[in-house]
């Protein structure tokens, strides 16, 4: 297969390329499954451009998913599901509330912290938004928050699902670009925390101006210790996952497996789950994984086709001809990624855009690790960017609140999160100093 890539002639991007590309855009607009869009687009490009033999498609499909790291994806999804079914997710929220609930905007801040805790386990923003939203939105409205604002707060906090390790997104982008997921997890730790803090700070100032919540409870050490003790098993899970990965004891895949086994044992000991619940949990994990894996499988033939057509090189040449200012180019990249994050989930965005944008990033002197962090963070902001952000629709479905009403409140969170992205852009060492 590599020989074909080496022998591929320099191809000009004519209508044999643009017609399949246009067809892919139309299919996305019509709501066709992304894996089908990517697969049909790749096959059509191979046939129309004749840059590579179409027979390579079958082999590439297998090579695209033949990775040990990919096993971590369904395991983290399964861990998150077990966490919800056992009630451990509620314990995490209780710990978050006991830790931050004494502040004037305590419940809102603790909700965001709870999103961060859950993100450390589920690795998915949509799962985070759905799980936390069901638990907290009503509690926030009872405290005095408008329902639409409560939805926006949960949607913003849940963006950390793709930013805080063990994010599934970093596993996938590492797989696509050939970078160790453990390295990306280390690099993502500080940026993920900064995004989480930006949401907390935004909520604090909005609450200060609007007066939604005025907690005067104060910090109670005895209550905090008792809550932490009651939630000790829930706290154990992120400790195992992150501690194992960052200490080098586990790979991300091994950490995910240990987390699944640990949560199941806790559930059985506490009698919150039964053996009869396992098939349902496996089914849930399989359904989510069944969406992700076909997209990844289709990514390799698409990437090989684009590489053979020299699309990344053409894109780099086009962008650098417009400007040679590296910061302006990075801003353009961030805008592209935010827009893409509004209309598509993380996985297809990574599959389609990462191989094209990485050469441009390298051309302007960006470290590949820095690029990955900037890309995932920008996509994460897209999830709450009005009016099409994915998380806005998730919390809208959970709470029954109109998306446009939620969108108005989401703008302030987008602005502060974008400020963090700008900081990451201008200070790349934030993404690399732990490496």
| Cβ 151 vs Cβ 136: under 8 Å | no
Each of the 435 residues of the chain gets a pLDDT tens digit; together they read: 434 333 333 445 678 888 888 988 888 778 788 788 888 888 888 888 888 787 777 777 777 677 666 777 778 778 877 877 888 877 877 887 788 766 677 778 888 887 777 766 665 666 667 667 777 888 888 888 899 999 999 888 888 777 887 788 888 899 888 898 889 988 998 998 899 899 999 988 988 888 887 666 667 788 888 988 998 888 888 888 878 887 888 888 888 888 888 889 988 988 888 888 888 888 877 776 777 778 777 777 888 888 888 888 888 888 888 888 899 999 999 999 988 888 777 778 888 889 889 999 999 999 999 999 999 999 888 888 887 777 888 788 878 888 889 989 999 999 999 999 999 999 999 988 877
| Cβ 143 vs Cβ 186: under 8 Å | no
Backbone torsion region of residue 365, taken as left when φ is above 0, otherwise alpha when ψ lies between -120 and 50, otherwise beta: left
The string of DSSP codes covering 403-431 is HHHHHHHHHHHHHHHHHHHHHHHH-THHH
| C-alpha gyration radius of the chain | 22
Taking residue 83's Cβ as centre, other Cβ atoms within 10 Å add up to 27
Q: Which of 225, 217, 161, 180 is nearest to 383 (CA)?
A: 161
| Cβ 92 vs Cβ 118: under 8 Å | yes
Q: Which of 87, 99, 96, 100 is nearest to 114 (CA)?
A: 96
Extents of the domains making up the chain = 1-435
């Amino acid at each position: 297969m590599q020989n074909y890539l080496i022998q591929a002639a320099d191809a000009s991007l004519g209508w044999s390329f643009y017609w399949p590309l246009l067809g892919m855009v139309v299919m996305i607009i019509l709501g066709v499954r992304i894996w089908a869009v990517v697969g049909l687009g790749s096959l059509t490009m191979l046939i129309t451009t004749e840059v590579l033999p179409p027979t390579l498609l079958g082999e590439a499909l297998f090579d695209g998913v033949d990775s040990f790291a990919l096993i971590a994806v369904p395991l983290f999804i399964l861990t998150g599901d077990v966490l919800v079914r056992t009630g451990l997710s509620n314990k995490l929220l209780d710990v978050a509330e006991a830790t931050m609930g004494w502040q004037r905007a305590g419940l809102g801040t603790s909700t965001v912290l709870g999103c961060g805790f859950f993100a450390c386990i589920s690795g998915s923003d949509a799962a985070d938004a759905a799980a936390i939203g069901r638990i907290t939105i009503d509690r926030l409205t009872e405290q005095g928050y408008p329902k639409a604002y409560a939805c926006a707060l949960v949607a913003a906090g849940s963006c950390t699902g793709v930013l805080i390790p063990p994010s599934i997104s970093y596993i996938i982008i590492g797989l696509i670009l050939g970078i160790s997921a453990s390295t990306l997890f280390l690099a993502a730790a500080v940026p993920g925390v900064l995004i989480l803090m930006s949401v907390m700070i935004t909520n604090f100032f909005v609450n200060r101006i609007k007066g939604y919540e005025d907690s005067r409870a104060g910090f109670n050490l005895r209550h905090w210790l008792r809550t932490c003790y009651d939630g000790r098993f829930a706290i154990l899970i992120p400790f195992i996952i992150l501690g194992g990965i960052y200490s080098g004891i586990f790979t991300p895949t091994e950490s995910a497996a240990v987390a699944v086994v640990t949560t199941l044992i806790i559930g059985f000991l506490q009698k919150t789950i039964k053996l009869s619940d396992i098939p349902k949990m496996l089914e849930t994990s399989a359904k989510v994984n069944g969406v992700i894996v076909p997209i990844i499988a289709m990514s390799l033939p698409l990437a090989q086709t684009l590489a053979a057509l020299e699309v990344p090189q053409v894109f780099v040449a086009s962008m650098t001809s417009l400007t040679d200012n590296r910061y302006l180019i990075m801003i353009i990249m961030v805008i592209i990624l935010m827009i893409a994050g509004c209309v598509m989930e993380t996985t297809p965005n990574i599959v389609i855009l990462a191989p094209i944008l990485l050469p441009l990033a390298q051309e302007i002197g960006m470290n590949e690790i820095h690029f990955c962090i900037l890309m995932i963070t920008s996509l994460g902001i897209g999830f709450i960017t009005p009016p099409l952000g994915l998380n806005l629709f998730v919390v809208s479905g959970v709470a029954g609140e109109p998306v446009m009403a939620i969108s108005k409140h989401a703008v302030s969170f987008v602005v502060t999160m974008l400020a963090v992205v700008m900081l990451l852009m201008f200070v790349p060492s934030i993404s690399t100093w732990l490496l």
